[in-house]
Amino acid sequence: MPITWQQWLIKASTRLRAAASPSAKRDAEIMLGQVTGVARTRLLAFGETPLTAAQCLMLDALLLRRERGEPVAYLIGEHEFWSLRLQVSSATLIPRPDTECLVQRALELLPPAHADVLDLGTGTGAIALALASERPAWRITGVDRLPEAVSLAQDNAASLGLNNTQFLEGDWFAPLQMHRYSLIVSNPPYLEAGDPHLAQGDVRYEPRSALVAGEDGMQSLSAISRQVGAHLMLGGWLLLEHGWQQGGAVRTLLTDAGFSHIATLLDYGQHERVTQGQWLA
């Protein structure tokens, strides 16, 4: 007898809870929606609908991968950020909800009128594309050293119909020459090489190059802070996302680099997450 949508959701949720998934029911719903092509509300309303044999095989394969800890975003190839559906891949970090705090602050710092904005280490293009969707008059450049990430960000921009962006391949400021920006944002790698979280949960499957920044986690933040002054307009702003215990160290970096109006903002969990500074040197 064929298994129904509801029966599969119960089975999958039970197995994922046993595997210590923090969002077992939601994970199961996402996978079922991906395979059936049906929205969550319809899955729940018509739970008696039977699965085909082919769908069962696909779902069982996805469920096994999720039980082993592979992120749902990698299983289905997409993730939502700032209400935008973004393609993701194992070459890029999965955008985090707390990064939306950086986006919100960026939108507050500059008026909607034309501005040149730079997103360093753009990955999927999440930050750049969120800003582009809110500020059509802004011209936003994303940079990433991985060609796979640049290609993915370009594909996301095209699928979202956002033509006020460009994405370049290079290491931090290398492909930019001496162009100056009104705002520079970045969510760079900031974990320590020995951080125990690297061996836990979804993070195990994400690229180390997008997570780890030297032994103390400060290598990328320090490199950006040293070089950024040559690429900011007078009065321009820098926004850096960082670890919840790195606020003090990042404020020191910006002070030493010559920034003014330095402040650290809290994330949704009330942890220090984003530090800003204005370039008036």
247 is in an annotated binding site: no
Residue of 273, 254, 238, 225 whose CA lies nearest to 110: 238
Same domain, 38 and 138: no
- Tell me if 96 is assigned to some domain: yes
Same domain, 51 and 93: no
- Tell me if 226 is assigned to some domain: yes
CA distance 24 to 9: 10
Confidence of residue 215 (pLDDT cuts 50, 70, 90): confident
229 is in an annotated binding site: no
Same domain, 145 and 32: no
Provide the terminal-to-terminal Cα distance of the chain, rounded to the nearest Å. Answer: 73
Domain housing 241: 89-279
Where is the domain boundary, 34, 69, 104? 69
- Tell me if 145 is assigned to some domain: yes
CA distance 84 to 116: 22
Same domain, 243 and 118: yes
52 is in an annotated binding site: no
- Asked if residue 125 has pLDDT above 90, the reply is yes
pLDDT tens digits for range 217-272: 899 999 999 999 999 999 999 999 999 999 999 999 999 999 999 999 999 999 99
205 is in an annotated binding site: no
The CATH number for 30's domain is 1.10.8.10
175 is in an annotated binding site: no
- Tell me if 80 is assigned to some domain: no
Pairing relation of β-strands 116-120 and 84-87? Answer: unpaired
Same domain, 168 and 200: yes
Same domain, 47 and 97: no
Same domain, 183 and 49: no
187 is in an annotated binding site: yes
Q: Do the Cβ atoms of 258 and 234 come closer than 8 Å? A: no
Q: What strands, in cross-sheet order, belong to the sheet with 232-241?
A: 165-169, 139-144, 116-120, 181-186, 232-241, 272-279, 259-266
- Asked if residue 142 has pLDDT above 80, the reply is yes
CA distance 39 to 277: 43
pLDDT at 212: 79
Same domain, 112 and 228: yes
Q: What is the mean pLDDT of residues 136-140?
A: 96
Residue 18 has phi, psi (to 5 degrees) of -65, -30
123 is in an annotated binding site: yes
- Tell me if 78 is assigned to some domain: no
Same domain, 24 and 118: no
pLDDT tens digits for range 72-122: 999 999 999 999 999 999 889 899 999 999 999 999 999 888 999 999 999
124 is in an annotated binding site: yes
| Element (DSSP H or E) covering residue 118 | strand 116-120
- Tell me if 74 is assigned to some domain: no
243 is in an annotated binding site: no
The CATH number for 223's domain is 3.40.50.150
Q: Do the Cβ atoms of 250 and 264 come closer than 8 Å? A: yes
Beta bridge partners of 140: 117, 165
Pairing relation of β-strands 84-87 and 78-81? Answer: antiparallel
Same domain, 96 and 36: no
190 is in an annotated binding site: yes
Same domain, 93 and 65: no
| Total structural domains within the chain | 2
Q: What is the mean pLDDT of residues 57-85?
A: 93
Alpha-helix runs per DSSP H in the chain: 5-18, 24-36, 40-45, 53-67, 72-76, 99-109, 126-134, 147-160, 219-227, 247-257
Strand, coil or helix: 240 = strand
Same domain, 64 and 104: no
189 is in an annotated binding site: yes
